[in-house]
Amino acid sequence: MLKNLQNIKPLVAILRGVQASAVLSVAELLVKEGFDAIEVPLNSPDPLDAISLLAGEYGETCLIGAGTVLTQNQVQLVYDAGGQLIVSPNTNPAVIRATKQLNMESLPGCASPTEAFSALAAGADGLKFFPAGALSLDMFKSLSAVLPAATLTFAVGGVDEKNMQRFHDVGITGFGLGSSLFTPDKSMAEIQRNARASVHAFNALTTVN
């Protein structure tokens, strides 16, 4: 079964700045530690090449896609490269609709109730609250109370294994992990340690009532 936002562990590895030549080695470590969703931001070096490599190797077992997607044309380019996930820092209904027309998963960014409901109305499969570290936990709690019950919500930006619990406690269901997990200057051993710690922290959350 192809992966989607409903059937993955809701931890998205954000590989900003990854080189296409290194992406499979990094992905191998992430998958080994329990990640099954990987995002390559489009402002990385040769992002479409990296996405194509990931899709070829992991497209049937992981949800592979792009971040920092701002235009409908970029959606098409990611689709052509084999990606199935479109992540944006903003809510652009045209980008969301283009994503769904290609049967891809849509995870747009939002920072307010208006943006959240606009994204869902356009067909978003989940909501990326960004930058999460700069947003109020009270806002997350209040918004979680009025969103449709099955809404998938991801905290992205300023998230690491140490603060997942705080977001989880106010209704956040998933996380996008960037520099706390991967930067191009991190060693493979460090990336693997970070991945293991992140998955361990997330799995601990699932036991909290």
For residue 2, being part of any structural domain is answered with: no
Give the predicted TM-score (pTM) of the model: 0.95
Angle, helices 188-205 vs 23-33, to 10°: value is 30
Q: Tell me whether the omega of the peptide bond preceding residue 47 falls within 30 degrees of 0, making it cis.
A: no
User: Is 128 part of the annotated catalytic residue set?
Assistant: yes
For residue 130, being part of any structural domain is answered with: yes
Q: Which of 128, 162, 186, 190 is catalytic?
A: 128
Task: Say which residues have a Cβ less than 8 Å from residue 114's Cβ, sequence separation at least 6.
Answer: none
For residue 83, being part of any structural domain is answered with: yes
Q: Which of 39, 57, 100, 141 is catalytic?
A: 39
Residue-wise pLDDT for 169-178, tens only, equals 999 999 999 9
Residue-wise pLDDT for 183-206, tens only, equals 999 999 999 999 999 999 999 996
Task: Identify the domain containing residue 46 by its residue range.
Answer: 11-205
Q: What is the CATH number of the domain that holds 55?
A: 3.20.20.70
For residue 1, being part of any structural domain is answered with: no
User: Is 162 part of the annotated catalytic residue set?
Assistant: no
Burial (CB count within 10 angstroms: exposed 0-12, middle 13-18, buried 19+), residue 7 = exposed
- Residue of 106, 86, 190 lying closest to 151 (CA atoms): 106
| CA atoms of 108 and 165, how far apart (whole Å) | 23
Q: What was the pLDDT predicted at 184?
A: 98
86-103 burial by CB neighbour count: b if 16+ within 10 A, else e?
A: bbbbbbbeebbebbbeee
User: At residue 207, does pLDDT exceed 60?
Assistant: no
Burial (CB count within 10 angstroms: exposed 0-12, middle 13-18, buried 19+), residue 192 = middle
> With contact defined as beta carbons under 8 Å apart, do 152 and 6 qualify?
yes
User: At residue 208, does pLDDT exceed 70?
Assistant: no
For residue 176, being part of any structural domain is answered with: yes
For residue 181, being part of any structural domain is answered with: yes
For residue 95, being part of any structural domain is answered with: yes
Name the domain count of the chain.
Answer: 1
For residue 6, being part of any structural domain is answered with: no
